[in-house]
Structure 1
Amino acid sequence: MDFAFDARTEELRAKLLAFMDEYVYPAEAVVHEQRAGLDSPWRNVPVVEELKAEARRQGLWNLFLPDSGYGAGLTNLQYAPLAEIMGRSPQIAPTVTNCAAPDTGNMEVLAQFGDEAQRKQWLQPLLAGEIRSAFAMTEPEVASSDATNITTRIERDGDEYVITGRKWYISGAMHPDCAVFIVMGKTDPDGADIRRQQSMVLVPRDTPGVTIERAMRVFGYEDHYHGGHAEVVFDHARVPASHLIGEEGGGFAIAQARLGPGRIHHCMRLIGMAERAIELMCRRAVSRDAFGTALAQQGVVQNWIADARVAVEQLRLLVLKTAWMMDTVGNRGAHTEIQAIKIATPRTVVGILDRAIQLYGAGGVSQDFPLAELYAGARTLMIADGPDEVHQRSLARRELKKHL
């Protein structure tokens, strides 16, 4: 692979870096101030809406979608350095560029598997940033690390599907602009193939029988920039049969297709989070003295910074290789690499953020600096989109299979 960025990537990087400096970083403090005055903590604050308009004006919009008919038409390799830049301010940058989860994954599902009517009704408003969405798969009563465990039922009744079940940590569900859920449930719970029992349906949020039970916090944070996380009950919620995505029994395959790009996007942004942490560590180290010596002169601090730089360079190369493989041999061909970055990136970035927090002392765990919130987000990604242990198990099996 060629490690140099092509001309289009360099152009977009320059625009995005300038956008971050001029608009995003200054808005971080403003967001917190404006949110305090809102009647709903989940609604976008005025400065975010202003930045969305500016990002769209500058062409920094829907950069994640490789399909040029819907998005920027970038490859994974082209998008990787852009997602990294946005990861430096994950609370704002992905949202204002319309590149935030879970909408990104839902748009990819609709673009790839939705029919013309579904794309017109839901994909187009999502692409325009007019609505938000949620992806409902995880359940509180089962080990959702194994997606075949889900118990939510999607039953055919004439020209309708009836959805019954309970989901939780449904990202985006608290946002008042969330208009639709993509719900994964079982249409054939007794089917012989456990990976053909599941299907996905589109469920409008205002469907009778859909209840947002409560907001779920993440390490005490409400995750406003994700549109919050919710526990949601589907009590015999009915939708037209035309709301089925793809075919009955195709839900598991659609989920896997959705999660591959989602995993690498998370890892791209995590590298940006690590870069922000290193920058903050260096600023702190050169501005503070302890016991008569600048922190920057302390051997342990120097080791933290050096180790962090080495780790980030390693991770970036692995993520870029994975992006290149996804572009050249497809998601299936890059399966091992996707699992490798999903294992390595969150745990490494959590370690870097932990050292940065330590260096900042009390400030590191406060709301005055972004480190605590970055840490909560990075640590969560050791669970989200499949916990590390599931990926380790699968990766080990692939390695062992070569010798059996």
Structure 2
Amino acid sequence: MEFEYDATTVALRDELLDFMESHVYPAEPVFAEQMAALDDPWDWDSTPILAELRAEARRRGLWNLFLPGEHGAGLTNLQYAPLAEITGRSPALAPAALNCSAPDTGNMEVLAQFANDDQRAAWLAPLLEGRIRSAFAMTEPDVASSDATNIELSIVRDGDEYVINGRKWWITGAMSPNARIFIVMGKTDPNAERHRQQSMILVERDTPGLEVVRGMHVLGYDDRDHGGHAELRFTDVRVPATNLIGEEGAGFAIAQGRLGPGRIHHCMRSIGIAERALEMMCDRAASRVAFGKPLADQGVIRDWIAESRVRIEQLRLLVLKTAWLMDTVGNRGAHSEIQAIKIATPSTVEWILDKAIQTHGAGGLSQDFPLAGFIAGIRTLRFADGPDEVHKNSLARAELRKRG
């Protein structure tokens, strides 16, 4: 068992750490100022500082690191994991600067694996270049979308077109005017076998009948620094039949293929958030005095710091093992481990963030520190890509099967 990073990972990691220190962290307050000055509050993608960061990332060879194979940087999941962790330390800026931000990453993976040549030329190419953004429309307000077979949006064939009707919500990135293409999941055949009823189809933003109803707030945050989360309404939306991704009935399988890498990418980045929170906790504890001595000398604070380190190391090893399995036996072979990290990561990082906020006192709840925003984002991961309870149920079922 080898615990060292390989030479490619070491070189990219060193380059990325330097990029974070010299460019990304100093850009965070600039990005906030430029976001506040936008004419369109959702147009995060047009901020000058983000364009500068992207140009520098490309110059350094830090571009599309998430995507294996010919379309991306060619890294394995194990090679990408420590890099994604570093970008997680600045979740609004760093992933976007490297063209490695969700939901575009998952959408590019879908297009790379399942789209035809014309669809790749039209949408994958500009996404890989970072010229446009995208959204993935699966979750719906009227059904329990934790069971993806419940979705009700209809996709009905009418000659050379499909007609789409229904509602979606929590569609990340869709508030951005530069989200030019939506990958939409709906039902093409309600009478088919349960997991063959769904299909995925491409819908351009300006298609008549597609309405962006509103932006959704996450614990009071609008998340406009990465395109927000939209409620969408589709009313007799017509698209060419050639916009279908793959074949009719393949939507559920495509979704499962998309969510595996998406889940581990979220977990990788979340570890970076935990590391930054622990650093902030230590710095705050060393600089503040209460009851006659620094917080760092208080036993309860030291307990939090030690426990945070232990939990981060445990989490990182589990995520790296999962990445290695995905590389060696495939996503299906790593299914239990993917579920395990999806269960463990948000709750673990949420605990560390809670202690970092507590160490900061009232300041930890304020806009003066990023901790409150971090914990709102991490809390959503207990729903995103499947809620905790669904993963726990499935993981327990697999364990019970092992015992016959």
With structure 1 as the length reference, what TM-score do the two structures score? 0.99
**Superposed displacement of residue 343, structure 1:** 0.1
| Distance (whole Å) between structure 1 residues aligned to residue 42 and residue 7 of structure 2 | 38
| Distance (whole Å) between structure 2 residues aligned to residue 82 and residue 219 of structure 1 | 28
Question: How much identity, in percent, do the aligned residues show?
Answer: 70
**Superposed displacement of residue 403, structure 1:** 2.0
Q: Which residue of 2 aligns with 1:374?
A: 374
Whichever residue aligns with residue 337 of structure 2, its letter is E
Q: Contact (CA 8 Å) 1:102, 1:226: kept in 2 or not?
A: no
Alignment equivalent of 2:62, drawn from 60, 65, 79:
60
Are 1:75 and 2:76 counterparts? yes
**Superposed displacement of residue 352, structure 1:** 0.3
Q: Contact (CA 8 Å) 1:342, 1:388: kept in 2 or not?
A: yes
Alignment equivalent of 2:52, drawn from 50, 53, 73:
50
Q: Which residue of 2 aligns with 1:343?
A: 343
Q: Which residue of 2 aligns with 1:11?
A: 11
Q: Contact (CA 8 Å) 1:346, 1:379: kept in 2 or not?
A: yes
**Superposed displacement of residue 224, structure 1:** 2.1
Q: Contact (CA 8 Å) 1:151, 1:185: kept in 2 or not?
A: yes
User: More deviation in 250-259 or 23-32?
Assistant: 23-32
Are 1:330 and 2:330 counterparts? yes
Q: Which residue of 1 aligns with 2:240?
A: 240
The number of residue pairs the alignment matches comes to: 402
Are 1:159 and 2:151 counterparts? no
| Distance (whole Å) between structure 2 residues aligned to residue 334 and residue 403 of structure 1 | 19
**Superposed displacement of residue 225, structure 1:** 3.1
**Superposed displacement of residue 2, structure 1:** 2.0
Are 1:266 and 2:283 counterparts? no
**Superposed displacement of residue 3, structure 1:** 1.5
What SS does structure 2 have at the residue aligned with 1:304? helix
Q: Which residue of 1 aligns with 2:111?
A: 110
Are 1:85 and 2:62 counterparts? no
**Structure 1 residue runs of 4 or more that deviate by more than 3 Å after TM superposition:** none
Offset from partner CA, 1:81-133 (integer Å, 9 cap, x none): 00000000101000111000000000000000000000000000000000000
**Superposed displacement of residue 56, structure 1:** 1.1
Q: Contact (CA 8 Å) 1:95, 1:225: kept in 2 or not?
A: no
Are 1:124 and 2:160 counterparts? no
| Distance (whole Å) between structure 2 residues aligned to residue 350 and residue 246 of structure 1 | 38
**Superposed displacement of residue 220, structure 1:** 1.0
Q: Contact (CA 8 Å) 1:64, 1:71: kept in 2 or not?
A: yes
| Distance (whole Å) between structure 2 residues aligned to residue 62 and residue 308 of structure 1 | 31
**Superposed displacement of residue 57, structure 1:** 1.3
| Distance (whole Å) between structure 1 residues aligned to residue 140 and residue 2 of structure 2 | 42
Q: Which residue of 1 aligns with 2:386?
A: 386
| Distance (whole Å) between structure 1 residues aligned to residue 82 and residue 403 of structure 2 | 37
| Distance (whole Å) between structure 2 residues aligned to residue 3 and residue 161 of structure 1 | 51
Structure 1: unaligned runs, 5 residues or longer: none
What SS does structure 1 have at the residue aligned with 2:206? coil
Whichever residue aligns with residue 285 of structure 2, its letter is A
Offset from partner CA, 1:334-382 (integer Å, 9 cap, x none): 0000000000011000000000001101110111111011101111101
Offset from partner CA, 1:203-233 (integer Å, 9 cap, x none): 0010001000001111111112331110000
Offset from partner CA, 1:44-100 (integer Å, 9 cap, x none): 321111111111111111000011x21100000000000000000101000111000
| Distance (whole Å) between structure 1 residues aligned to residue 128 and residue 33 of structure 2 | 28
Q: Contact (CA 8 Å) 2:35, 2:225: kept in 1 or not?
A: no
What SS does structure 2 have at the residue aligned with 1:237? strand
What SS does structure 2 have at the residue aligned with 1:256? helix
User: More deviation in 113-122 or 44-53?
Assistant: 44-53
Whichever residue aligns with residue 386 of structure 2, its letter is G
Q: Which residue of 2 aligns with 1:252?
A: 252
Offset from partner CA, 1:10-39 (integer Å, 9 cap, x none): 000000000000111111111111111111
Q: Contact (CA 8 Å) 1:126, 1:132: kept in 2 or not?
A: yes
User: More deviation in 224-233 or 388-397?
Assistant: 224-233
| Distance (whole Å) between structure 1 residues aligned to residue 58 and residue 235 of structure 2 | 39
User: More deviation in 39-48 or 312-321?
Assistant: 39-48
**Superposed displacement of residue 402, structure 1:** 1.7
| Distance (whole Å) between structure 2 residues aligned to residue 225 and residue 186 of structure 1 | 32
Q: Which residue of 2 aligns with 1:287?
A: 287
What SS does structure 1 have at the residue aligned with 2:22? helix
Whichever residue aligns with residue 275 of structure 1, its letter is E
| Distance (whole Å) between structure 2 residues aligned to residue 90 and residue 383 of structure 1 | 18
**Superposed displacement of residue 143, structure 1:** 0.4
Q: Which residue of 1 aligns with 2:190?
A: 189
Whichever residue aligns with residue 9 of structure 1, its letter is T
Offset from partner CA, 1:117-153 (integer Å, 9 cap, x none): 0000000000000000000000000000000000000
Whichever residue aligns with residue 388 of structure 1, its letter is D
| Distance (whole Å) between structure 1 residues aligned to residue 251 and residue 376 of structure 2 | 30
| Distance (whole Å) between structure 1 residues aligned to residue 7 and residue 256 of structure 2 | 32
With structure 2 as the length reference, what TM-score do the two structures score? 0.99
| Distance (whole Å) between structure 1 residues aligned to residue 185 and residue 352 of structure 2 | 35
